[in-house]
Structure 1
Amino acid sequence: MTFNNSIRKRLAFVSATAAVALSGCASTPEPIIGAASTQARSDLGQANYSHIPATTYALRASDQISVNVFREPELSVENVRLGVDGAVSLPMLGSIPAAGMTTKQFEQDVSRRLLAAGLRTPMVSVNIAEYASHLVTVEGAVEDPGVYAFQPGSRLSAAIAMADGPTNVANQEQIAVFRESPQGVLIAKFDYSQISQGTMLDPILQPGDRVVMGTDGLSVFYQNLLQALPAFGVFGVAALNNN
């Protein structure tokens, strides 16, 4: 009987300790009032990350656009997608390149091509229907990992929010962002706690970014232990009763 009480006391102590540890992992740091940090830390690989949203947008493969030719409905198209080669197919013109151009530049290019094809004074407007090229992968210790569409100008904190935030076993000081570049895949490290406080750069996302939230190994141990406690407790009591 004394041995059984000893086991119960140890389990209660571990449960309380684990609960405190898990609750600590879920806490949110107090924001620091004032201007948020916009300085990239090169020692963490952040040199190619920026806090400044682009003022113009260049069309990319998979984006959907609508092309309207004034008073020429047969030459107009709705929600046409740029192919993987960055080209788009339009009536009379066939497949023409679009990726890398702004909507204004593409309007001018389509107008020039229609004029050369015999259409008098073509008036063309181009609108982006869907930024389908803007996808970010969020994985690791987040509540709902997956691939998410985002609007141009969205930040790293938005990617974490789309995945429903860090889990209670997340290591918020360890976020790795993988980004493709002409030099290959670059990796930068960010601290979500510092981003939440405004003391670290919250970078603008780029299409194809991969965000990985790290895991606190100690918290994982405690969580697994807590999940096993009821079964372990029942097994221990049953074994003692049988003896």
Structure 2
Amino acid sequence: MKIAPLVLLAVSAATLAGCSSSPGAKIGLVDSTPVAAYGQDGYSATEPADYLLRPSDVVSVTVFREPDLSVESVPIGADGMLSLPLAGAIKVDGMTTRQLEQEVRNKLASSLVSPNVSVNIMQFGSHVVTVEGSVEKPGMYPFKPGTRLSGAISLAAGPNRTAKLKDVVVFRQTVGGMSVAKFDYAAVRSGTMMDPVLQPSDRVVVGTSGLSVFWQDLLKTLPAFALFTNL
């Protein structure tokens, strides 16, 4: 009769151990098809070929043989404007660096003969992701263009012990308003679900399982269940 509670705990622990394991990796091409039922339309696993400048990005603008017209580091304003010597204010939000180079050349053409202009991105200041929920280190993190959902979770030191990997949600600001998409992180890691490329200001929330940390710690303290070390 006294064995019953231990049996229940064993069943619970075994169930937890099974839930915590991840499916094996899929061999071959990773599935990159959006799941419409999860709100994944509009998400992509492909990095854009050309980077588009955004507010808070920092650029350098070099006008060759014209040091007074060059700037080593200048941030793009919240309104998407960039102010440059002689060229004046330019709306650069959504431009590529090549397009900005051409725009600066056009602005300077009335004052200089065949101006030679080079633009480089010094800092991707617009690229910040918020990671919340059941991760080891929630917070806001800068990231490089091309970073994926798995990268955002890694920046937060990975899921914690109460993470519900099937319930990872990404909040994204779109032209039509805030959108919400769900991802099964276990499927993402195995290659059977898209690992989407992040967008600036994305917010990632990792769900929490119903089992509290207290119960997980309790199971680990029981000698009979010491083998369940991956709970």
Q: Is 1:97 the counterpart of 2:99 in the alignment?
A: no
Where 1:200 maps in the other structure, the secondary structure is: coil
Partner residue, 2:66: 72
Determine the C-alpha separation between the residues in 2 that align with 1:227 and 1:30: 25
SS of 1:217's equivalent in the other structure is coil
Aligned AA (1:49): Y
1:28 CA displacement:
3.3
- Quote the Cα distance in structure 2 between the aligned partners of 1:76 and 1:101: 19
Letter in 2 for 1:189: K
Which residue does the alignment assign to 1:53? Answer: 47
Task: Specify the alignment match of 1:232 in structure 2.
Answer: none
2:82 maps to 1:88: yes
Deviation by residue 1:107-135 (Cα, 9 ceiling, x = unmatched): 0000110112x112110000001111011
CA deviation vs aligned residue, 1:157-203 (integer Å, no higher than 9, x gap): 11111111111110000001111112211111100000011111111
Q: For residues 88 and 11 of structure 1, what CA distance do their matches in structure 2 show?
A: 68
CA distance in structure 1 between the aligned counterparts of 2:155 and 2:204, rounded to whole angstroms = 12
Amino acid at match of 1:164: A
Output the CA distance in 1 between the equivalents of 2:214 and 2:11: 12
In the alignment, the residues of structure 1 paired with residue 181 and residue 92 of structure 2 have an alpha-carbon distance, to the nearest angstrom, of: 31
Unaligned runs of 5+ in 1: 1-5, 230-243
- The structure-2 alpha-carbon separation of the partners of 1:175 and 1:201, relative to structure 1 and needing over 3 Å to count, comes to same
Gaps of 5+ in 2: 223-231
Matched, 1:43 2:37: yes
When normalised by structure 1's length, the TM-score is: 0.82
Q: Please, which of 110, 124, 130 is the counterpart of residue 131 of structure 1? A: 124
The residue number in structure 1 matching 2:225 is: none
TM-score (norm 2): 0.86
Out of 27, 35, 40, the residue aligned to residue 21 of structure 2 is: 27
> Which AA in structure 2 matches 1:48?
G
Question: C-alpha distance in 2, partners of 1:11/1:147?
Answer: 43
Aligned mate of 2:173, from 170, 173, 180: 180
Counterpart mapping for 1:123-202 below 5 A? 123-202=116-195
Q: Which residue of 1 aligns with 2:196?
A: 203
Residue 223 of structure 1 aligns to which amino acid in structure 2?
Answer: Q
Cα pair distance change 1:98/1:91, threshold 3 Å: same
What CA deviation, in whole Å up to 9, does each residue of 1:41-75 have, x standing for no partner?
Answer: 10110111111210111110000000000111111
Larger Cα Rg: Structure 1 or Structure 2?
1
Provide Cα deviations, 1:136-157, integer angstroms capped at 9, x if missing partner: 1111001111111111111111
Compare 14-23 and 201-210 and name the one that shifted more.
Answer: 14-23
Is 1:115 the equivalent of 2:116? no
Amino acid corresponding to residue 137 of structure 2 in structure 1: D
Cα RMSD (Å): 2.4
1:23 positional shift: 4.8
Letter in 2 for 1:28: S
Structure 1 window deviating more from structure 2 (216-225 vs 84-93): it is: 216-225
- Superposed CA offset, 1:76-106 (max 9, x none): 1112100101111211233322111110000
